Amino acid sequence: MTKTLTLLGSGDMGTALGKAWLAAGYDLTVWNRTAARTARLAEAGATVAGTAAKAVAANDLIVLCLLDDASVGEALDGIDLAGKDVVNLTTGTPADARARSAWVAERGGRLLDGGIMAVPPMIGVEGSGAYVFYSGSPELFETRADLLSVPAGTRYVGADAGFAALYDVALLSGMTGMFAGINHAFALLRGENASPAEFATMLAEWLTAMTGMIGGIAESLSKNDFTTGVTSNLAMMVTGNGTLLRTAAEQGVSAELIAPFTDLMARHSAAGHGDEGLAGLVDALRG
């Protein structure tokens, strides 16, 4: 397989990806809507194409790293994709990825969707922990495995093009809830005679210890058993949540970040599930 590819998009992430391929000796053609933003890659040895159509025509492998799915549709509008391998590293929903996969197939190409689990400074850095979820064409993934493993590790999660986005968004959603809790915790201590730096250490240690609960939730879900082995039951936690909410009020902190979760726990417990652990809330969320 020749070491050539086209990259559409040289924003912060696209530039980091492009630099990694250039550093590994790949021949890179780049296009960006705002031409000036290709300068960093051009300096590093990339060939700059004047239009997206010319960039696509230059190579069989096309990597996209644009803002959102709509930008992908705009950038590829009217371009012949016959015989092209399209790797879409633009963040989107699972439905976006499935629709885009069919859209590329209608135009004669095949698609691999990717969800990047990293920020730009981690790209191309050995040992940074950066990786990309991939789903979609298994043949494309296997044929291009060497190239795909240059900027970050790879995790192939299935032929359904929507799965990379699903795993990506599930991890980001877990992170979003975690940061909501972190912001609430800092707000409780704000204005008090307490060092944010010292508290940060305590919070990081506590949250790290609590990640030990994740495996137990998975086990309950796998067995469809939400009561066996429960050491912190919902009824107890609902009472504890009252203390959390009253403390927020005492400290003048809005409970808006934690209230949706404490409300769900109270509702599920009141519906007769007070002896369950946290895993029971997963199905309660799905209605």
Q: CB of residue 54 vs ligand NDP: minimum separation in angstroms?
A: 15
Q: Point out which residues bind ligand NDP (CB under 6 A).
A: 9-14, 32-34, 37, 65-67, 71, 74-75, 90-91, 116, 119-120
Q: CB of residue 168 vs ligand NDP: minimum separation in angstroms?
A: 8
Q: Which helix (H) or strand (E) holds 147?
A: helix 145-148
Residue 189's SS3 state is helix
In the bound state with ligand NDP, the residue whose beta carbon lies nearer, of 81 and 116, is 116
In the bound state with ligand NDP, the residue whose beta carbon lies nearer, of 117 and 140, is 117
d(CA 216, CA 210): 11
Residue of closest CB approach to ligand NDP? 11
In the bound state with ligand NDP, the residue whose beta carbon lies nearer, of 120 and 274, is 120
Q: CB of residue 18 vs ligand NDP: minimum separation in angstroms?
A: 10
In the bound state with ligand NDP, the residue whose beta carbon lies nearer, of 98 and 184, is 98
- Which of 66, 118, 111 has the alpha carbon at shortest distance from 92? 66
Q: CB of residue 268 vs ligand NDP: minimum separation in angstroms?
A: 33
Q: CB of residue 113 vs ligand NDP: minimum separation in angstroms?
A: 11
In the bound state with ligand NDP, the residue whose beta carbon lies nearer, of 114 and 280, is 114
d(CA 103, CA 101): 5
Q: Which two tokens stand for residue 77?
A: 């509008």
- CB < 8 Å & 24+ apart, contacts of 66-75: 66/8, 66/9, 66/11, 66/14, 66/90, 67/11, 68/92, 69/93, 69/96, 69/100, 71/9, 72/100, 73/100, 73/103, 75/8, 75/9, 75/31, 75/33
The DSSP secondary-structure symbol of 68 reads S
- Which of 137, 138, 75 has the alpha carbon at shortest distance from 110? 137
Q: CB of residue 14 vs ligand NDP: minimum separation in angstroms?
A: 5
In the bound state with ligand NDP, the residue whose beta carbon lies nearer, of 31 and 141, is 31
